[in-house]
Amino acid sequence: MAKDDKAESGTVHIRLAAPADVAAIAALEKQVFARARERFHRQQVANLVARAKGVAMVATRDGRLLGWAMALLRRDARAAAMGGRVYALAVGPEARGLGVGGLLLTRLLAAMGRHGVRRVWLEVRDDNEGAIKLYHRHGFVRDRHLKDYYGRGVHGLRMLRDHPAGAKVPPVEHVMPEPKSAPRRRPAPRKGKP
């Protein structure tokens, strides 16, 4: 059990992912993405968590995985600095609407800032309204439409966000109190990788 998971019951913790999280992340991917081709499988998750040029984070409550997020880091010629690509973001259906996805994204962006990232981009299915709204709220703007990006007739959007130098970067660990009220009801999520 990771150190954050021993803390107060009922709180949500965000921390860096570890090899011990791989099985739970792969199970979450399976739960979130119905189609096998849309999800990361166990070996892919293991590779992403272990990747040196990347940041993977998990959200847990009482030691159980609620969600995860992952960014790839690479030299970005356009920004003449490090760039980051949000490569995975998923929250289990039972934990949606509580702010977990937003918190994971906030922490991921902060971690990217610590790695010197100055521009962040991602791809999302163009019909994934929930995720697109979340990205807009976190400063991403539409860059371009990606025709047939996810297969024939399944289009994507590329979204971008500048990551200003010197932005205040909070620590990785974060504790969010359990919400007082029940989660908001939302339409069924649309599938799609960032």
Ligand X SMILES: CC(C)(COP(=O)(O)OP(=O)(O)OC[C@H]1O[C@@H](n2cnc3c(N)ncnc32)[C@H](O)[C@@H]1OP(=O)(O)O)[C@@H](O)C(=O)NCCC(=O)NCCS
Residues that bind ligand X (CB under 6 A): 32, 89-91, 96-102, 124, 128-131, 133-134, 137, 186-187, 189, 192-194
- Looking at the Cβ atoms of 113 and 194, the one nearer to ligand X is 194
Q: How far is the CB of 179 from ligand X (least distance, A)?
A: 10
Strands (E), the chain: 12-16, 54-61, 64-76, 81-91, 117-125, 141-146, 156-162, 174-176
Cβ–Cβ < 8 Å for 85, 122: yes
Rounded alpha-carbon distances, angstroms, from residue 141 to 28, 135, 138, 145: 28, 8, 9, 12
- Looking at the Cβ atoms of 4 and 126, the one nearer to ligand X is 126
Q: How far is the CB of 100 from ligand X (least distance, A)?
A: 4
Q: How far is the CB of 184 from ligand X (least distance, A)?
A: 6
Q: How far is the CB of 193 from ligand X (least distance, A)?
A: 6
Backbone angles phi, psi at 65, to 5 degrees: -75, 130
Cβ–Cβ < 8 Å for 17, 46: no
Q: How far is the CB of 98 from ligand X (least distance, A)?
A: 5
- Looking at the Cβ atoms of 4 and 29, the one nearer to ligand X is 29
Bridge partners for 69 per DSSP: 57, 89
Helix (H, G, I), strand (E, B) or coil at 135: helix
Query: Residue of minimal CB distance from ligand X?
Result: 101
- Looking at the Cβ atoms of 64 and 137, the one nearer to ligand X is 137
- Looking at the Cβ atoms of 81 and 149, the one nearer to ligand X is 149
Place of tokens 């100055």: 118
Helix (H, G, I), strand (E, B) or coil at 190: coil
